[in-house]
Amino acid sequence: MVISYLGGKKFKADYRNHSVIIDQPKDGGGEDSGMTPPELLIASLGSCIGVYAANFLNNTGIDSSGMSVSLTWEKAAEPLRIEKIKAEINIPNARLGKRQPAFLKVVEHCLVHNTLMNRPEIEIKLKEDEK
């Protein structure tokens, strides 16, 4: 994945054949032409939960139509970070009954959730042109 600076507060992420614009809201000095990095993190978690949820429902013959995942989050200041994330899965056309514990166990083990729960090693280097 390559993240390219487009000027102002705007960036573009390119990976495989896909691109996503990342920006800041207007009150943060951006053009509001894309989600912020923290919003993309939350979107990544929510969509990962959604993929696992839909797979479970579809594989067990439970109606997944209209399913959605709603997320809210809270920030902390010291250090500045997302402190708490809440996800709510809405399945309007089905009831899980006794399958609810299995469903929750499956969705709680999506790749993004597992990554956030088991802090990855992150290495940041500076690459400068040799002159």
Q: What is the pLDDT of residues 101-122, one digit of tens each?
A: 999 999 999 999 999 999 999 9
Q: Domain 36-120 sits in which CATH superfamily?
A: K homology (KH) domain (3.30.300.20)
- Dihedral sign of CA atoms 66, 13, 11, 44 in order: positive
Apex CA 48: angle with CA 109 and CA 16, to 5°? Answer: 125
Q: Which two tokens stand for residue 81?
A: 């970070």
Q: What pLDDT, on a 0 to 100 scale, did the predictor assign at position 130? A: 78
% residues pLDDT > 90 (the chain): 96
Indicate the domain borders of the chain.
Answer: 1-34, 36-120
Q: For residue 53, is pLDDT > 90? A: yes
Q: Which residues contact 62 (CB under 8 A, 6 or more apart)?
A: 56, 91, 94, 96, 99
Is the pTM higher than 0.75?
yes
DSSP 84-103: EEEEEEE-TT---GGGHHHH
Angle separating helix axes 100-107 and 37-59, nearest 10 degrees: 140
Q: Which residues contact 93 (CB under 8 A, 6 or more apart)?
A: 63, 64, 65, 66
Q: What pLDDT, on a 0 to 100 scale, did the predictor assign at position 120? A: 95
For residues 44 and 37, what is the distance between their CA atoms, to the nearest angstrom? Answer: 10
Query: Is 57 within 8 Å of 42 (Cβ atoms)?
Result: no
Q: Which two tokens stand for residue 77?
A: 């200041």
% residues pLDDT > 70 (the chain): 100
